[in-house]
Structure 1
Amino acid sequence: MELETMMGQGRLAIDMILDPGSFTENTVGAWTNTDPEFGPGAVVGTAKLDGETVTVIASDAMAANMKFPVVYAGIIGLEEGYKMAKAVYNTIEADKDKPLDQKRPLVLIVDTPGNGPGKQEEIFGMNKSTGAYQLALAEARRVGHPIVAIVVGRAISGAFLCHGLQADHIISLSSKYHTMIHVMPITSVARITRLDIEFLESLAKDNPVFAAGPEFFYRLGGVEEIVENIPDMRDAVIKHVKEVRALKLAGKNDELGPWGRGKLGAERNGRPARAKAIEVMNKEFASVEDKYLSA
């Protein structure tokens, strides 16, 4: 019987997507995480995908970080962000002398309800942790590692910003599996904007900016493909790794990552004003750049 949802089942997703029995947790290249209490909500390691070595990064919704009470249920906390970043940087280091066509892919399995916003995390520098992970992925993408993220459960707020949005391609399970992608719940939007929830809910019916489902995010260009059935996840990831690598080898990097998804949003009529806004900003910057760049 097919599963009704993959939410909270990041480790099961690893077993379903990667080659059977190939996942070695806590080891990437020459690095091994020897502290089981460091970032327990982050699952990192090395595996095979269709026979090829890949780095895997996921969240474990069944784990809790006892040092930080708000880090549980797949939340990416301070330690988790740094652990994920270390996995990426050690991937880059392991393949630094390899040609472009041999850079190992990174597979990001996304199921996270957010970052750990506790007082301790904010004091210690939660933003630096998630920023380090985002930067690591951007650098891996820049040097040629194919990065494919698959949303199997929740992809919410700043956690998706660091664990997903820096990927070359993002794919997602259909909303029939209760998959969620959004910046914040409508209740939170209402508190911040002071607009009625009923008004925001009416916008969410046909406006992809306010709606929470992956199909709406697809219209924005934020998702390259919707995977309609759970058993198809593996083949979809394999396909997108090949597509990303082919584009990198062809030098078409502007068709990947955030810039590529921006173009998709325009093509799908989900972000029609994006190009115009960029054009205006570029003109305004050009009019003052000499003043600031020469300072």
Structure 2
Amino acid sequence: MKNSFVELHARERALSLLDAGTSKEMVGPLDDMISPHLEPQNIVPESDDGIVLMKGKIAGNNVLVVSIEGKFQGGGIGEVSGAKIVAALEKALEDNKNGKTIYPIIILDTGGVRLQEANYGLLSISEIQNAVIALKKYVPVIGLVPGRVGSFGGMSITASILSYLIATNKARIALNGPEVIEQEAGVREFDSSDKDLIWNTLGTKQRLATGLVDEVVDDTVDNIKNSIINEIKTKKDAHRTENVDFYLSLLDQLDLSKKLDIESYNKLYKNVEVTKHDIPEAVAGSEEGTKSRGRVWFEKMTGIKNATSSVSTVLHAQKGGKEYVAIVPDADNDFPRVRNGEVGLQEGFAVASVINKVVAEDKDKDVKRPIILIADVPSQAYGYQEELIGIHVALGSSAAAYAKARQAGHPVIDFIPGDAVSGGFLAHGLQSNRMIALDDDSITIQAMSKASVARITQRTIAELEEATKHVPAMAYDIDNYEKLGALYKLVKGIGSWEATGENVAKINQIIDGAIDGLNGDRTLHFRYETPIAKESGRKATLKVRKLVDEQW
């Protein structure tokens, strides 16, 4: 197609948007900043790791273009690619803080986490989201979803956080791809061979109708560039992750006795009666809730026996000047895809409501209330209705709320006594100043189940397990996760279920030490500064950050 934007590669896309003669690429192919994690898996790396960073001008305005190459590893985000994006966004933030206006534009052609670098991808995506939220205080952060791959996985959560989202009719946006939903929940939940169903549900025509993208344009360079110029002029912000009361009201009015279809959802979306939602603190109940490690530790740390709440899967309470928050399973939940503790629509929006209220209550206080996340989340919810409504926005709302709280001065501490997997971990855990985990073999930290990773990467389970021996970020256990350098403390000698009085006191002491040691830090930079991170875990990240700083 003549003048097609979709058909261009990442570098060509960036150049096509910039005014002639203004482009400057940073950490490009000649820097040969390849991922160190691919060759050990017999995967050929790219010299730019699939990310193009360019500064330049659009209609005379200073811009930073971040362009993701969908043809390399499906546009997946790993350590180097993620570090390039984060470092560039943080330099743009620094410029804007110093009065030099520069508009970030992110071209999303991505499946989300690069599964061959799984936990690096999750860390990097959370760091991208943090930078976006900080930047939005100064300028709109503009997203483009051209097509080819679309925007999936953790980067769909990022897309929900952006100020303004432009797409073509060749794009799709969703948290979970149809193949993954089919793998995790069965073909009856989402048939990945039904192309019409996929496009009608996840395509931009439907996404525009229900507020999940802001503008759909024809696939030409000129159309896309004109839309960007107009957004720079008008500085619109969809505030997509701040519509918490709207979505909680929508979920209240959803008839869960019937299978949701596009027509009935669109009708509901247009006729939602919005009411203010206040999620009250958990109280003691008469019956035990569905057991989980997260529930056990929440009840012991807050002293609330058989804790119950108006949202059965979200527990929060104040104790000792701290706000404790947990997402827990409910075997009888009306949303079947969250019965095992997964993070779904209601969980994401309810947590966002809780955290936003904490921030509002402490707005004028010199000392902000610490927020303690108790993370035991086996994944995000895999379901058709979740994708139709926009689960990526629910998880984006929670992640954004935690990031804003931390940036406002609230210590945000993540305590991990259970699993911390995929979008669930991005929504509830990875926006923390510090992460504390129990050294228990039963804990899983990863981006996706082994069965789904094998399907997407076209490997056998045995091949995946062999790869984890060479790349700790692909492993599923907490000891390999520690090798990345992101943890504040890996606590030995306490099992996941051992929430005794003595052990609770020990964990509280470690949490207090983490809070006291923040010294005003509101960033996520601790992850790069631990001895493990410097020595091995984030060496590539630190090298990228140095290069971006030098070339900016």
Q: TM-score range by the shorter chain?
A: 0.7 to 0.9
Amino acid at match of 1:40: S
1:55 partner SS: strand
Amino acid at match of 1:121: E
1:187 partner SS: helix
Within 5 Å, give how 1:111-190 maps onto structure 2.
Answer: 111-176=376-441, 178-190=442-454
Correspondence for 2:343: 76
Unaligned segments of structure 1, at least 5 residues: 1-6, 27-35, 287-295
Unaligned segments of structure 2, at least 5 residues: 1-290
Taking the aligned partners of 1:234 and 1:138, their CA distance within structure 2 comes to 27
The alignment's C-alpha RMSD in Å is 2.4
1:216-244 deviations in Å (ceiling 9; x for gaps) = 11111232211221343442244333433
Within 5 Å, give how 1:42-81 maps onto structure 2.
Answer: 42-44=314-316, 46-48=317-319, 52-66=320-334, 68-81=335-348
Taking the aligned partners of 1:109 and 1:273, their CA distance within structure 2 comes to 30
1:64–1:234 Cα change, 3 Å: farther
Q: 1:90 aligns with which of 351, 357, 369?
A: 357
Bigger Rg, structure 1 or 2: 2
Conserved? CA contact 1:149–1:169, under 8 Å: yes
1:113 partner SS: coil
Amino acid at match of 1:14: F
1:252–1:106 Cα change, 3 Å: closer
Correspondence for 2:537: 270
Correspondence for 1:17: 301
1:124–1:282 Cα change, 3 Å: farther
1:270-292 deviations in Å (ceiling 9; x for gaps) = 232111233445567x3xxxxxx
1:124-162 deviations in Å (ceiling 9; x for gaps) = 111111101101000110111111111111111110011
Conserved? CA contact 2:436–2:487, under 8 Å: yes
Correspondence for 2:464: 200
Q: How far off its partner does 1:263 sit?
A: 2.9
Taking the aligned partners of 2:390 and 2:468, their CA distance within structure 1 comes to 34
Correspondence for 1:110: 375
Higher relative contact order (CA 8 A, sep 6+): 1
1:269 partner SS: helix
Correspondence for 2:482: 218
TM-score (norm: length of structure 1) = 0.77
1:66-121 deviations in Å (ceiling 9; x for gaps) = 1x22121101110111100111011111111111xx31111111111111121111
1:28-74 deviations in Å (ceiling 9; x for gaps) = xxxxxxxx3xx422222x221xxx222121122234431x2212110
Taking the aligned partners of 2:549 and 2:455, their CA distance within structure 1 comes to 33
Equivalent pairs, count: 254
Amino acid at match of 1:217: Y
TM-score (norm: length of structure 2) = 0.43
1:197–1:25 Cα change, 3 Å: closer
Correspondence for 1:30: none
1:145–1:195 Cα change, 3 Å: same
1:43 partner SS: strand
1:23–1:72 Cα change, 3 Å: closer
1:90–1:252 Cα change, 3 Å: closer
2:419 partner SS: strand
Amino acid at match of 1:58: A
1:112 partner SS: coil
Q: How far off its partner does 1:207 sit?
A: 2.6
1:3-45 deviations in Å (ceiling 9; x for gaps) = xxxx823222112223x3599865xxxxxxxxx3xx422222x
Work out the percentage of aligned pairs sharing the same amino acid.
30
Correspondence for 1:31: none
